[in-house]
Structure 1
Amino acid sequence: MTIADQEQAGPRTTPRAAATHDEPAAPRVPYGFFHPRVVATRRLSPTLVRVVLGCDELSAVVSGGRDQRFKLFLPQPGQDAPVLPEVLDLDWYPRWRELDPAVRGIMRTYTIRAVRQDPPEIDVDFALHGDLGPASRWARRAAPGDTVSILAPVVHDNGGVEFQLPQDARWALLAADETALPAVAGILGSLPVGLPVRVWIEVAHPDDRVDLPTRADAEITWLVRPCSPVAESVAAAELPGPAGTGYAWIAGEASHVRALRRHLVGERGLDRRRVSFTGYWRRGTTEDDLLEAAVAAAAAD
């Protein structure tokens, strides 16, 4: 579930012809297009729904764990399946943008919650916000047999994982809203035994406080709206250790993410290189708008 910039949107390598003795082999493209169907859905809480996607070709999908992102493509109204670029290489994203916006598959970024091989399936957890966007509308109505497409990793080291705990980290901080809850769950499940970690999660409903298993020494604070912003709660809290030994991961609404990052770096003294942050969404803006803005900014550089 992340707002994509162009780095997030596409693979970093492109396939080439087989290498000769004068030319080294090219790196493997770390992602592939897949075309699964909905296998099942399950309501996890008032706001969260899990959609299980499955098909034989998903046996090639792997995950780097933690907050592993992927691209979900939904069909336009009246289509049986989303329209995608015909070729997968480094230029697939520009080709997708060149397609008619009224025809091309609707692209959104989400977190892989789980991958299974027998049978080949992946779980995707959606935070529902009524009918405010095409992905939320689709997830609310998803039923077995519905067709989607995804761009998903086929190697573990695929560049789609933001949470990178430094080897010398002695504590961690996580802050998020419900849109990043699947990523928080994956991160907590990956942490080493006994690592002190403070977690703040803002949700829409008291029953959105789902179970988050972890081997870490985690203290989880749930903030149910209406509530004070996460940044205020973090500012009033004592961190688990000295700034130089910690690592922070922040995700959610873009303005809240920026405010909390400024606090952690400016007032708490965390090295900015030890703060990973992602605006999963921006109030009043769609992912399509953000993608266009990112492309325009890149072109202006």
Structure 2
Amino acid sequence: MVSHHPYRTFRTTVARIQKLTPSFTRVTLTGDDLAHFGTDGLDQRIKLIIPFADGTITDVGQFDETQSMTEWYRRWRELPDEQRNPIRTYTIRSPRPADREIDVDFVLHGTEGPASAWATGAQVGDPLFVVGPDSRSGEQGGGIEWKPGDATSVLIAGDETAMPAICSIVESLPAHITGEVCIEVPSEADALPLTAPEGIRVSWLGRGSTAHGVRLSAAVHAWGRRRGASSASAHGAEPIHALDEDDRADASDEILWEVPETVSGGEYAWLAGEAGTITALRRHLVRDLGIDRHSIAFMGYWRRGRAEAS
């Protein structure tokens, strides 16, 4: 009997490319092995191994299903820079194992970053290698942080890097759930159609020339005031500014990824995006609004000025 690890590397090629907005492109990937892609979506994390210009990757055993990801990943880290394919973390927008397809939405922000550069130049038929959960494994693969328990009121907030996860989560919400969804994106033109329960308010926050995180922070603070927290009322409606250096220094000293396994109570918050902004928002929810930290999932997907540490 063959034993399958929770994660495996899927060989895929580009089936379709759809320009969604000025900043977002959806790439549909296909491959026979995706029949075994094991997820229901939500904020399922995957890793993309970006090919070199000739479409190849250095073989470190990532296609050997007898080896765990930990084994081949160690060998990948030991490679010289010129032999190490970039690896970047993304979330699935939509999985369709029965059709042997998955959708991955990319933020296009130039060609300096390897994933954005790849997506900018991608064509139908190009290879891409996806590390994701294997449905044949008897173990839980993980990578899904949306765990609201029995909460009936939610706050979901993030920037463009969290957009695919947020959209997938919102579209899965039961009809009785109420709450607020705040998504900061590069421009007003980047708002996407999103089907949400009647009791969910969705705000697309075009950044424009405003500093990153300012509009998202303002929206979450405004939600807190509407929520009627006494501490928010006491502080008043002070203006929200970009994070200063002290905020960012504090953020660098804190845990940047914390997800409660169980949630008690009727309220749940899910925050994801730039680490400094998300850490400051989580601090506001806990310290200023008095929300139980065990009812908040917060994930620093990236940090301003730093490349992703693969």
The alpha-carbon deviation at position 33 of structure 1 amounts to 0.9
Change (3 A) 1:269 1:163: same
Q: Which amino acid aligns with 1:210?
A: L
Is structure 2 residue 250 aligned with structure 1 residue 250? no
Aligned residues: 263
Which residue number in structure 2 is paired with residue 295 of structure 1? none
Asked if 1:159 is matched to 2:142, the reply is: yes
Counterpart pick for 1:123 among 84, 103, 118: 103
Aligned ranges 1:49-88 → 2 under 5 Å: 49-77=25-53, 79-86=54-61, 87=64, 88=67
Deviation string 1:160-213 (CA, Å, 9 cap, x unpaired) is 00111122x120001111111100011101211121120111111211110111
Q: Contact 1:171 / 1:240 at 8 angstroms: preserved in 2?
A: no
CA distance in 1, matches of 2:292, 2:73: 33
Task: Tell me if structure 1 keeps the 8 A contact 2:40–2:95.
Answer: no
One-letter amino acid of the counterpart of residue 41, structure 1: I
Q: Counterparts in 2 of 1:9-88, with a 5 A limit?
A: 28-77=4-53, 79-86=54-61, 87=64, 88=67
Q: Name the counterpart of 1:3.
A: none
The one of 197, 221, 227 equivalent to 1:235 is 221
Task: Give the SS at the match of 2:83.
Answer: coil
Change (3 A) 1:84 1:267: farther
Per the TM alignment, residue 41 of structure 1 is displaced from its structure 2 partner at its CA by 0.4
Q: Does residue 214 of the first structure (1) align with residue 200 of the second (2)?
A: no
Supply the AA of the counterpart residue of 1:153: P
Aligned to 1:98: 78
> What secondary structure is seen at the aligned counterpart in 2 of 1:277?
strand
Alignment deviations for residues 130-154 of structure 1 (CA, whole Å, 9 cap, x no partner): 1230110110111011111111111
SS in structure 2 at match of 1:39: strand
Q: Is the 8 A contact 1:37 1:53 kept in 2?
A: yes
Structure-to-structure mapping, 1:132-147, within 5 angstroms: 132-147=112-127
Q: Distance in 2 between matches of 1:277 and 1:200?
A: 14
Conserved in 2, the CA contact under 8 Å of 1:172 and 1:196?
A: yes
Among candidates 273, 283, 288, match of residue 294 of structure 2: 273
Conserved? CA contact 1:192–1:216, under 8 Å: no
The secondary structure found in structure 2 opposite 1:193 is coil
Distance in 2 between the 1:177 and 1:204 partners? 9
Tell me the distance in 2 between the aligned counterparts of 1:117 and 1:278: 27
Alpha-carbon deviations, 1:199-246, whole Å to 9, x = none? 111111211110111235210122211343412321122455889531
What is the one-letter code of the residue matched to 1:220? V
Unaligned runs of 5+ in 2: 230-263
Q: Normalising to structure 2: TM-score of the pair?
A: 0.79
Structure 1 stretch 211-220 or stretch 231-240: which is displaced more? 231-240
Q: How far did 1:118 drift? A: 4.5
Using the TM superposition, give the Cα deviation of residue 280 of structure 1 relative to its aligned residue in structure 2, in angstroms.
1.5
Q: Which residue of 2 aligns with 1:286?
A: 307
Letter in 2 for 1:166: G
SS in 1 for 2:119: helix
Residue 117 of structure 2: SS of its match in structure 1? helix
Matched letter for residue 47 of structure 1 = S
Query: Which amino acid is the alignment partner of residue 287 of structure 2?
Result: G
Is the contact between residue 74 and residue 107 of structure 1 (CA under 8 Å) also seen in structure 2? Answer: yes
User: CA separation in 1, counterparts of 2:179 and 2:228?
Assistant: 10
Could you tell me which residue of structure 2 aligns to residue 297 of structure 1? Answer: none
Secondary structure of 2:148's aligned partner: coil
Deviates more, 1:210-219 or 1:250-259: 210-219
Residue 83 of structure 2 aligns to which amino acid in structure 1? Answer: V
Could you tell me which amino acid in structure 2 is paired with residue 181 of structure 1?
M
Kindly, what percent of the aligned residue pairs are identical? 40
